[in-house]
Structure 1
């Protein structure tokens, strides 16, 4: 079963990623306190632990998942284009998957070769729009459905 393994946010542009074991995620703020959490198609970013491990293996280096600067880390899923338009459930939270998180030059500055290593097979993760307000916790179950579910 897939599960939530990490939660992070940044309070200032270009600032460090701050990790937490739980967070309130809302339709107006994204992951609470995240500087980029305003409503948009890229409100929350989600990274697959397996795809991150593939990236690190390719680079022959172990990097913290927060190097990717994603908000959420999930284990047990690998993202790809087939998930666009579907709903990612993390505990009671529902996120609409809007697209691929494209690697940027910040990845190259963090580690030479990282931008290129994240490019294939959606290794950079997915972008999402928050559909409902909910508290999430490390260890919450994660699943994907075709559409929003009433809670």
Structure 2
């Protein structure tokens, strides 16, 4: 994982530089981009008595975007806008995988309730985004 201050996100490529977001011919990419709420990450760590993220950094979750200050609806079909142009449709919950157990024992279970593991989505409109950009719920 690499943390960057700004990045292009497109329908064809997903997050620039992340091959997993690329749209393949004849396939619907419901996991083109992933998001996790900082509050959900912190709640999972707190449940394990691991305050302030000392045990694990959010990037261990391998989500593309970390958002804060906004609770996303736990509902597929929700459209989220980031920055001036990017629009993402939430397609499903991002279930935590067994890799989370290697990060911190018990983390997979702590990320399971209430979509704490994050959100999967597909890009509806391309956009350049940067750390600190406004995030809005459109629908």
Instruction: Count residues with an aligned counterpart.
Output: 129
Q: State the match for 1:26 in structure 2.
A: 10
**Which aligned segments of 4 or more residues in structure 1 are displaced greater than 2 angstroms?**
77-81
Q: Is the 8 A contact 1:31 1:44 kept in 2?
A: yes
| Residue 38 of structure 1: how far off its partner (Å) | 1.5
Seen in structure 2, the aligned counterparts of structure 1 residues 80 and 113 have a Cα distance that, compared at 3 Å, is farther
1:64-75 equivalent positions in 2, closer than 5 A: 64-75=57-68
Q: 2:41 corresponds to which residue?
A: 52
Cα deviation, residue 67, structure 1: 1.1
CA RMSD of aligned residues (A): 1.1
Task: Return 20-29 or 71-80, whichever deviates more.
Answer: 71-80
Q: Any gaps of 5 or more consecutive residues in structure 2?
A: 24-28
Q: Which residue of 2 aligns with 1:90?
A: 82
Structure 2 partner of 1:128: 121
Q: TM-score, normalised by structure 2?
A: 0.88
**Structure having the larger proportion of residues in strand:** 1
